Amino acid sequence: MPPDYAIVPLARKRHIKYLRYYLELLPARMSIYDSIRVSIAFFAISGLDVLNAIDTLDESKKKNICDWLYSLQVLPNGSGDCSSCGFQGSCTLVAPDLNYQEHISEYACGHLAMTYTALACLIILGDDLNRVDRTAVMMGVKSLQEQDGSFRSTKAGSENDMRFVYCASCICFMLKDWSGMDVDKTIDYIVKSMSYDFGFGQGPYLESHGGSTFCAVASLNLMGKLHDTFNSKQLAGLKRWAIMRQESGFQGRPNKEVDTCYSFWVGSTLKMLDMLKAVNFEENRNFVMSTQDAVVGGFAKFINTVPDPLHTYLGLSGLSLMGEEGLLSIHPALNITERAYSHLQSIHETWSDPAS
């Protein structure tokens, strides 16, 4: 008989251990994550925060992590060009020898997902963002917006889609400065990406997807435009599309298998649409807990598969949305805890004017 996941407890201590391990030294097989180390750090740090365990990192550790993140910030070059500014995701192009080369700024560039997750980590760790060159980051963001309103991730060659619309929106919101975005154009892109089933694809004509739907809805939420962009019929259709993704846990698209990460992507979308009340929390918990590794810690995509940091974090944040005891509550659009969001608000209070 399969175990009754309804009574399985959250293996809190194991998850803390698992996430702390990811902050340290990873084995060689993890080299495929080498370009996105900051996002792994985010999953671990924000995961610890959701577990109400951020203080298991002592002050010096927190400071060291902040220093490391700042070491990845790309500052304006000699000519004042900010198109490479933002945060890099790893140290691949960090070496004293490389610093003085003019052409390096074509390659050592900020990346929107890394800038967003770096800022999130700094906020969670209690940093005051004083060392962020806000103006430069905004100019970097601005340079990545495409004609159609979407964003690409980096100057150094990248696709453009809804993921980076979301990252850009988070960065603007966190830095309390929307000068890096033509908001109307961005909204136009989001509207055009709404599909015939009222979910959102990564771009116009593309299939609706739980991840891109989250990105679209959260971006509008951060802009304060969610409720005036769509008519009531569209909003009702969107709510319907999202709630239909629950099977036990959540799937990302119709007729696909349920996967731990969509408990957050779709759960959070429903929360922003004020529809979390329609979700069956028990069924979701049963599924998510079936993907928990109670021995090593962490959550996996599916049952009987190996946990990874992304699914661990999104599993936890999804459970938090749905009222799991002992977890801090989540700001659904920023995907950080409400505790961290309060800290961000207190930082904002110290900024009299936007950076621009």
Partner 1 sequence: MEGSSSEEGEDVNWTFYRDREEWADLKPVPQDDGPHPVVAIAYSEKFRDVFDYFRGVLKVHELSERALDLTRDAVELNPGNYTVWQYRRQILKHLDKDLKEEMAFVAEMISAFPKNYQVWHHRQVLVSWLNDASDELQLTAKMLALDAKNYHAWQHRQWAIRTFNLFQNELEFIEKLLNDDIRNNSAWNQRYFVINQTTEFAPEVIEKEIAYVLSKIKIATKNESSWNYLRGIVLHSESGLRKPSVIDFCDELYNSGNRSACLLSYLVDAALEQAEYGVVKENSLLSIDKALELCDNLANEFDVCRRGYWNYISGCLRVHMN
Under DSSP, is residue 74 helix (H, G, I), strand (E, B) or coil? strand
Give Cβ neighbours of residue 71 (< 8 Å, ≥ 6 apart).
91, 94
> Could you give the CA distance from residue 139 to residue 74 in angstroms, rounded to a whole number?
12
Does residue 53 interact with partner 1 by CB under 8 A? no
Nearest residue (CB) to partner 1, 156 versus 355: 156
- Return the sign of the alpha-carbon dihedral for residues 205, 206, 212, 215: negative
Return the residues of window 170-189 that contact partner 1 according to CB under 8 A.
none
Does residue 300 interact with partner 1 by CB under 8 A? no
Nearest approach in angstroms of CB 35 to partner 1 is: 5
CB 275 within 8 Å of CB 335: no
> Could you give the CA distance from residue 72 to residue 118 in angstroms, rounded to a whole number?
9
Q: For residue 138, how many other CB atoms are within 10 A of its CB? A: 24
CB 155 within 8 Å of CB 109: yes
CB 336 within 8 Å of CB 120: yes
Can you tell me which of 18, 22, 262, 265 binds partner 1, judged by CB under 8 A?
22
Return the residues of window 78-107 that contact partner 1 according to CB under 8 A.
91-98, 101, 103-104, 106-107
Does residue 303 interact with partner 1 by CB under 8 A? no
Nearest residue (CB) to partner 1, 251 versus 320: 251
Applying CB under 8 A, the site for partner 1 has a residue count of 76
Can you tell me which of 17, 176, 225, 253 binds partner 1, judged by CB under 8 A?
253
Site stretch for partner 1 (CB under 8 A), options 76-84, 190-198, 220-228, 323-331:
190-198
Binding mask 110-139 for partner 1 (x = CB under 8 A): -x----------------------------
Alpha-carbon separation of residue 325 from 50, 289, 322 (angstroms): 11, 14, 9
Return the residues of window 263-282 that contact partner 1 according to CB under 8 A.
275, 277-280
Site stretch for partner 1 (CB under 8 A), options 67-75, 133-141, 168-176, 331-339:
67-75
Tally the C-alpha atoms within 13 A of residue 286's C-alpha that lie toward its C-beta.
11
Nearest approach in angstroms of CB 184 to partner 1 is: 24
Nearest approach in angstroms of CB 192 to partner 1 is: 12
Phi/psi region, residue 323 (left: phi>0; alpha: psi -120 to 50; beta: rest), is: left
Can you tell me which of 71, 305, 342, 356 binds partner 1, judged by CB under 8 A?
71
